[in-house]
Structure 1
Amino acid sequence: MSGKYDDLSKAQLIELLEKRDRTKKLGLVWERDEIAADQAIDENFIACEIVPELSDKPAPWTNMIIEGDNFDALRWLRMTLSGRVKCIYVDPPYNTGNKDWVYNDRYMDKEDRFRQSTWLEFLFERISLARDLLAEDGVILVSINDEQRALLELMMDEAMPGKRIATFTWRTRTGGNDSKGAFISENHEHVLIYGGPDFRFGGYEKTFEKYIFWDEERKDHYRLSDISQPKDMNERINGFYAMYDPQTDTYYPPNPQRVWPSPFPKGAKYDATDYPDLMPVFPPDEATKGKLPAKDQISKWVKQRRIVFPDDQRVEVFDDIDALRVAIDAADVPMARKTKKIWREMPHLEFWVGKRIGYGIPQWVRYKKELKNATQPVSSWITPLAETYTLPATEEIDPNAHLVSGSTQEGTTDIQDIFGSKAFNYPKPVSLVREMVRQATSQTGIVLDFFAGSATTAQAVMELNAEDGGDRRFIMVSSTESTEDEPDKNLCRDVTAERVRRLNASDDPKYDGLAAPFAYLRTREIAFEDLDYDLAPKDAWAALETLHGLPLTIYEDAAVWNAHESEGVTLVMVDKYDAALLDWLREKSRQNVFVYAWAPGQLARELGDVEVEIRSVRDTLVRGFQQ
């Protein structure tokens, strides 16, 4: 073995081989150095420093905008917010090769044969960190175009095994004229959805407009709906029978493409093929009683009035087989759109001669109180605002059960309205992100976007909070995107944070009620061996406040100890021991008091009779960072 393995120790080689043995044989493969990737996670410590002059509104700040490489920011967030983020939405670079993203201070070359591997590894490292931030009922939503969807989905299956939920399909525009060689215009993108075991979308409130009937005996409203099942007569032979109304002596033929429900529960021994000479009838009539299994559930449902037969309908009786055949040829028999329910080659065609044949359709009674959920699930199709009229309003598909979003033009227009110029390319529409966040969160929870760009996600959270009085918090992460050609460029400061600043200060009625105070933080790398000297108390304080779910405040350097009191927890960080602290803590006499110190040993001795938890600043942060 030679080349890139020469400098590896025996232990590292064994670790590499063991990892490869555990790797699934079926899946996505890309060029990656696993050992280098693992080492990069703990290569150095990351601190986040609050920049007061770039923050907005007075402290305390419930929201954060973090400037820096999102790999560094995610490592800091994993240390402070592991398992507590409700919703992550990201719109990562799509790797088109057209200078759409910066990596290691260089643009990717469209002709680079390792371009895909570099892109996949770049995202894999970040998605793996983001996975650890999700709460058990959390979700990550990732936008991607059609070209890269398959690669990204397979990579996310690796990074988040067993967590795939579904995919939203979003109509980005209408009537695109640009096309590829095959003369097809791509007008859609995808949003991949991966979530924790307890995650559920909020869904949409069910409409009860169809529950127009009243059952006096049950004291409940009900509606009538389709009773058939989506199986044809070959798939469900047990559903191919004549449904019989004993009150009117009327028979209803099955739709061969969508048969009646099975007359017997699962596990019951019944097979219509056991009766080749008999047209099954349920409930049994006089001719079939004793010839078919007893206690069918159709008879039970009819008796319970769960099946309702039409009152006002056409009924025909054909006196001979010839008359029936004439009606069949003329399509003058019961129909399911263009499908004849009685046809010439139908098994037991002669059965229908001399019978009262109903042209209507029996229906199932659905009671309002029997609804399993107060909401209905979200559709995977995101409908453009301009096309909401196309949504089907049928018995089974409610037009309100769809996400409705603007197109890419909406995103561009928003940026121009806020900045007065095209400050950012290809922004997503606020309506798209807002509706996904609405579905993924309650009125509280942390929403993270670590490819924040133009801060569309921040505005989406602000709009939702203004609408429903919610207390959702956002964390936006964005790099400067400075390069050798543009060393002074700072996307995070001048676009991401600036958008929120302008929304906070706007007097435009369109943005009325939008407010989100935020702390502006900047990542900083610290070598572990220098941690005791280079980790500033104010940076440790920001990390500890975040760790305890507290809004961020300014650390007072002149104070020998800082305290942050809230309803549920009191946080104290001691720079130097002060006897006054002992008296202050005794006066508090409350639970959930956490005292952090750089040298906790002496403090623990002094506070021996005070019921507080004393922790080491350094050990707590390092342990959380290296989890």
Structure 2
Amino acid sequence: MTPSQLRRLLVEQITQKKLGLNWESNAIERDEALNADIVLPRLVLENSHSLSSPNADGNLIIEGDNFDSLRLLRATHRGKIRVIYIDPPYNTGNKDWVYNDHFVGANDRYRHSQWLEFLYRRLTLARDLLTPDGVILVSINDENRSRLELLMEQVFPRRRLGSLVWRTKDTGNDLSQRFSHVHEHVLVYANSRFKFNGRKTDRSKFRNTDNDVRGDWSPQPMTSNKSLHERANTYYPIQNPDTGYWYPCDPNSVWRFASENEIRKRHPDDESAVQSALDSLRSDTIEALIAKRHVYFPPCAEKDVMFYSDRETLVRAIREGKGPVLPKKKTPLLREDLPDLEFWIGKPIAPGRPSRKEFWDAKPEEDRIAPLSSWIGGLKETLDPLLDDDDLMEPLALRSPKGGVATDEIKTWLGAKVFQHPKPVELIKNLLSQATRPGDIVLDFFAGSGTTAQAVLALNAEDGGARRFIMCSSTEATSKEPDKNLCRDVCAKRLRRVITGFGKQRGLLGGFAYLQLDKMDSADVPFEGTPMHAAQLLSLRYCQNASTGTLDDSILQLAFDGELAVLLVAQVDDQTLQRLAKWPARRLAVYSSRPESVSDHLARQGKSANSYSLLDALLRGQTTQRVS
């Protein structure tokens, strides 16, 4: 670290006052870690799968510490990842994560600080990978949610979108205090241009049952989630002008729309106040909606109309449960304690509820997107009364099986419980269905057993998409288990079986390149870095795909977009230079060990080209030092 960098860090530490999360960390050591060495990718063919398949393009499994994997991706995928989903270690103290080659246990004095620093370094790298409309989804348990949210706010300031709640099991396992922990959370932090996909309006819900000349329409609820005591000014009766029948307001869920009549009652003899109140409304009054024929009154037979000639008859009907009720919930609409009870004496009261007509042609289809709910329901869970099936804009609730299903999925694909606390494929697939578009790249840098990659392949199979995955997983080898390789023997093995099919399970279209990381000091890169290292880096940078080519022909084309060809030259000689001058592309980007010679020759031949050194390919994006 230079003296100026050291001064900058010291000034930041002294002058910046922060409200939020603090933990034991070393800012200088953190800064040095980013440039301590260089990370170079190497393709491992024997661990890869179906590389020749077009469905394998862009799918990567990267073996190594995910901090190093993210450093690599910072150099190759900066600003290109649309969705990041991670299920990081939960810091439970049950030795569920490795730090400096050792599992961190409950008795470690710096367990929380190590966990926060461990995540902070990785999240700051991941932040730079997101597209301008990108999002990161992070699973976490309730115990560590508060710490993680403060950390996320520090890394992604003002980008918190919210969180989703997922019920992981039916009963808790800690009943000593009679409190059952059965939920986990998915935190959502997004760049400003991100939107969930939501739910498109079902066109079949629009019909024209009354032959309205304006076309098909859908009945929409006219009630709000406010009670009479919360919003008394929208508690009023509604009358059908054609039949004269009346409809009581639900005291537990008053109307959504203001009433001009009620406004005038509040401001008698003050037309200015009335007009001011009307001008402040964001929607039509109920009187205006009725006048425009935007309110639908359901057909009602005369025999079903209720009529109470005196108070005694009305009160008796209420007490006996024979008064007007909500059609579905059967809760009473009239009660003895209501302020307008006398109004209903002598009024014909119709059953059913009026609704607002939402016409299909009233707005573009892209504006008919219902938002995503923060609740993740069970596969068979009844979501009513949380959701109203008639409300076109009622939030969409995702569904997922409980956590135990994920363990069974691991056993199905790998024959044994070889990974602790996985997530169900359905959970991640449904999250991705809302967060991704068909051609997006999905990153999981805590890949574990590869569930996220399987979810990507399953979602592609459902909607014909071409999403790509990048899975980063360590080996989790320790001094006690030096030969353990979680990435190769669990993640890659599972995905290989998911793609080819296993047992009674049918395969999914896909493939992947398996990369290992070679680390070396930047000073050693000119001597230990190879042209194939450069080929992988360039292919990842230009195509977001691993290179499967060889340098047997001395020139390897890594990318071509119809105009620009990216070439790697292993050996520069007269024959190679002549071939470059005749290369069938309008423009060239050539990487070689002799960039000046290549540049001079192509310039003399009138070939449009940019010439770079192999060292530039190896170091660009990974170090702050000057690259020659």
TM-score tier, shorter chain, comes to 0.7 to 0.9
Give deviations 1:314-353, integer Å, cap 9, x for gaps. 4455555665566566665544554544645615x55545
Q: What is residue 500 of structure 1 aligned with on the other side? A: 495
Cα deviation 1:492-511 (Å, max 9, x = unaligned): 12112222223344354522
> How far is the alpha carbon of 1:275 from its aligned partner?
4.1
Counterpart check, 1:383 vs 2:383: no
Structure 2: distance between partners of 1:558 and 1:394? 63
Matched, 1:619 2:613: no
**Corresponding residue for residue 477 of structure 2:** 482
Match status 1:171 vs 2:164? no
Question: Could you say if the C-alpha distance between residues 158 and 250 of structure 1 is closer, same or farther in structure 2, counting changes exceeding 3 Å?
Answer: same
Gaps of 5+ in 1: 1-6, 278-292
Is 1:424 aligned to 2:416, yes or no?
no
Structure 1 range deviating more: 165-174 or 551-560: 551-560
Q: What is the CA–CA distance in structure 2 between the aligned matches of 1:22 and 1:546, rounded to whole Å? A: 38
Q: Deviations over 1:76-128 (max 9, x none)?
A: 00110001012211111111111111110112131223211110110111111
Contact 2:139 2:185 in 1 (8 A): yes
Distance 1:157 1:140 in 2: 12
Candidates 462, 479, 489, aligned match of 2:457: 462
Q: Provide the C-alpha distance between the structure 1 equivalents of 2:196 and 2:541, rounded to a whole number of angstroms.
A: 27
Residue from 113, 122, 135 that aligns with 2:109: 113
Segment of structure 1 superposing worse, 192-201 or 130-139: 192-201
CA distance in 2, matches of 1:351, 1:389: 36
Q: Which residue of 2 aligns with 1:306?
A: 294
Task: Give the equivalent residue in structure 2 for 1:283.
Answer: none
Contact 2:63 2:472 in 1 (8 A): yes
Q: Tell me how far apart the structure 1 counterparts of residues 412 and 343 of structure 2 sit (CA, whole Å).
A: 72
What amino acid is the match of 1:186? H
Report the alpha carbon displacement of residue 179 of structure 1 after superposing the two structures with TM: 1.8
Question: C-alpha separation between the residues in 1 aligned to 2:557 and 2:334?
Answer: 78
Alpha-carbon deviation of 1:461?
Answer: 1.8
Please say if 1:553 is aligned against 2:532: no
Partner of 1:123: 119
When the two structures are superposed, what TM-score results if normalisation uses the length of structure 1?
A: 0.86
Q: 1:416 to 1:326 in 2, by over 3 A?
A: closer
Q: 1:520 to 1:327 in 2, by over 3 A?
A: closer
Cα separation, 1, equivalents of 2:248 and 2:473: 64
Determine the C-alpha separation between the residues in 2 that align with 1:102 and 1:461.
Answer: 27
Shift of the 252–217 alpha-carbon distance from structure 1 to 2, 3 Å rule, reads closer
Question: 2:362 aligned with 1:367, yes or no?
Answer: no
**Count of matched residue positions in the alignment of Structure 1 and Structure 2:** 600
Inter-CA distance 519–235: structure 2 relative to 1 (3 Å threshold): same
Residue range with higher mean Cα deviation, 498-507 or 30-39: 498-507
**AA in 2 matched with 1:363:** S
Query: 1:55 pairs with 48, 52, 74, which one?
Result: 48
Q: SS in structure 1 opposite 2:69? A: helix
1:85 and 2:81 matched? yes
2:173 matched to 1:181? no
CA contact (8 A) 1:451 1:476 kept: yes
What corresponds to 2:39 in structure 1? 46
User: In the superposition, relative to structure 1, how do residues 244 and 152 fare at CA in structure 2: closer, same or farther (>3 Å)?
Assistant: same
Q: Counterparts of 1:410 and 1:14 in 2: how far apart (Å)?
A: 50
Q: Deviations over 1:10-41 (max 9, x none)?
A: 862453332553453x2222222222212211
Identify the residue that residue 151 of structure 1 maps to in structure 2.
147
> Distance in 1 between the 2:88 and 2:212 partners?
58
Shift of 1:69: 0.7
Q: Does the CA contact (< 8 Å) of 1:315 and 1:356 recur in 2?
A: yes
Partner of 1:289: none
- 1:59 touches 1:553 (CA, 8 Å); kept in 2? no
Distance 1:296 1:556 in 2: 69
Distance in 2 (alpha carbons) for counterparts of 1:344 and 1:565: 77
What RMSD, in angstroms, separates the aligned Cα atoms of the two structures? 3.4
Decide which of 432, 435, 441 is 1:446's aligned counterpart.
441
**Counterparts of 1:418 and 1:540, CA distance in 2:** 35
Shift of residue 574, structure 1, vs aligned partner: 2.3
| 2: CA distance, partners of 1:241 / 1:387 | 35
**1:200 equivalent in alignment to 2:188:** no
> Secondary structure in 1 aligned to 2:132?
strand
Contact 1:461 1:473 in 2 (8 A): yes
The percentage of counterpart residues that share the same residue type is 37
- Judging changes above 3 Å, is the alpha-carbon distance between structure 1 residues 128 and 14 closer, same or farther for their aligned structure 2 residues? closer
Change in 2 beyond 3 A, CA 1:250/1:30: same
The two structures have a TM-score, normalised by structure 2, of 0.86
Measured against aligned partners, the alpha-carbon deviations of 1:450-477 in whole angstroms (never above 9, x if no partner) come to: 1111111122222223333322221111
